[in-house]
Structure 1
Amino acid sequence: MEVFAVDGLPEIRPGDDLAALIDANAAIGDDDVVCVASTVVSKAEGRQADLAAFPAGDRARDIAERIAAETDEQKDPRFAQAVLEESEELVLEAPFLLAVTRFGHTTVNAGIDRSNVPDADLLLLPADPTASAERLRAGLDADPAVVVTDTSGRPFRHGQRGVALGWAGIPASRDWRGEHDRDGRELGVTVQSVVDELAGAANLVTGEGAGGTPVAVVRDFAFGEHAGSDELFRDPETDFVRQALREWDY
């Protein structure tokens, strides 16, 4: 398997044809997986916003005051309001905002970014990253799979890694249940999050910070003869960590 970054892309602006720009800078094949950072997807889709667009309500002001009291970090209540409006649920309000986005991803601050946003205060995640991936795939000259990625922290570990937010042309996971290990034992719980692993591989070559590039291509990845599933985000009924946080009196 080969993973390489796509060089030469310009600063993406609202309304840009991102698929055309990718095609202009890379020879994409039908069997490739194109991993695209949510940052540029959001920029192309006009998901930039100013703090002034989110006048703070009572809950946002309470959250900002609570975070300031617990961490000595001043949280703009308008930012808290933006997180509230981009979230289906706040799992945690302090000492930081842990939110479930409207498309099911659980992340700090609903994934709202304040870096690499030259023309606004905030960059929101794509409203529907899977729909974004489908549009990108349809716009490319070839017929590859597309994964919209982001970087995300992980419980119990330091550091961030690439994760998938949306995907098209490939199942989210491959299901090993019913297959057998090397000793002949039947696998009962193993479901491999393929799109997350591809996003992590892409993040190794796209990089971070000022030198980062927003698109990577994975070539010669083979899904194999496995059942596939599009389930990626746990639903609340089976997400025991989210249930525990809901009940935690913090």
Structure 2
Amino acid sequence: MSKTLKVCPIQTGIFHPGDDLVEFILRSVDPSLWREKTILAITSKIVSIAENRFESLEKIDKKSLIRREADHDLGEIGHGVSLTIKHGVMLPAAGIDESNSENGDYILYPLDPYASTEKLRTALRQRLGIQDLGILLTDSRTGPLRMGVTGVALAVAGFHPLRNMIGQEDIFGRPLKMTKINLADSLAAAAVLMMGEANERCPLAILTETPVDFTDAPQIKEWQVDMQDDMYLPLYKHLLK
């Protein structure tokens, strides 16, 4: 793995409800940055805005909205935060966000992140004439026993999110038995670090020299773990409803 990852955050104008997402991206990214084997990281928030995924604060309280939106509501944990599972990711509040909402509404996750990501990839490939183009849909979350947030991938399109290292040898010639590299979340963490969390206005990033294999059929099922097979299930099994 000799490639040197490059992450170029893209500062943009404000993406407003009703704006065309593809045109916004093409207008924001310098044309010289587009090339074969490029990955576009994009925050899930502007995809949600493009899909009109809002809920008025006046129509529903947040706890009720969390229960409605969560695939699994694990209940309230420390600091009044509700822990949930949404789209195969464990995170607070089912991804519902109030920050950077132009009208002050709750912003929800896309209904189908993978469909949204693939649709965006198809449209950009047609406009740019690029064959090997990846899309990485990102958000941020906290982790157990750590302060602060890191980036996480909600969905990918155009590249394999996982690298299976089982059978390859370590430095002493012993075959690896369990190692798999989570490329998608690793790239999301790097991208979100550079994109920022506050008023940086960098909802996009261009990633090049990435250690991924591009494909039209990502191995999503191999990347995601069924809850019953999750090694951390004993920590939250009693909370599942």
- State the identity %: 30
- TM-score (normalised: structure 1): 0.82
Counterpart of 1:181 in structure 2 is 170
Is 1:119 the counterpart of 2:103 in the alignment?
yes
What is the TM-score of this pair, normalised by structure 2? 0.85
Runs of 5+ unmatched residues, structure 2: none
CA gap of 1:174–1:167, structure 2 versus 1, over 3 A, is: same
User: Take 1:217 and 1:170, find their aligned partners in 2: how far apart are those partners?
Assistant: 15
Structure 1 segments of 4+ aligned residues over 3 angstroms from their partners? none
Do structure 1's residue 235 and structure 2's residue 226 form an aligned pair?
A: yes
Q: Quick one: which amino acid aligns to residue 41 of structure 2? A: C
| Alignment RMSD | 2.0
Q: In 2, Cα distance between the equivalents of 1:120 and 1:194? A: 34
Instruction: Determine the C-alpha separation between the residues in 1 that align with 2:9 and 2:144.
Output: 28
- Tell which structure's C-alpha radius of gyration is larger: 1
Q: Output the amino acid matched with 2:20.
A: D
Could you tell me how far 1:130 is from its partner in structure 2? 1.3
Do residues 97 (structure 1) and 82 (structure 2) align? yes
Q: Which residue of 1 aligns with 2:66?
A: 83
Flag the structure with more relative contact order, 1 or 2, with Cα contacts below 8 A and sequence separation at least 6. 2
Unmatched tracts of structure 1, length 5 or more: 55-77
Equivalent positions of 1:130-209 (< 5 A) are 130-140=114-124, 141=128, 142-143=130-131, 144-209=133-198
Q: Which is worse superposed, 12-21 or 118-127? A: 12-21
- Name 1:247's counterpart in structure 2: 238
Give SS of 2:142's match: strand
Query: Alignment length, in residue pairs?
Result: 222
Query: What does 1:23-62 align with in structure 2 at a 5 Å threshold?
Result: 23-26=26-29, 27=31, 28-54=34-60
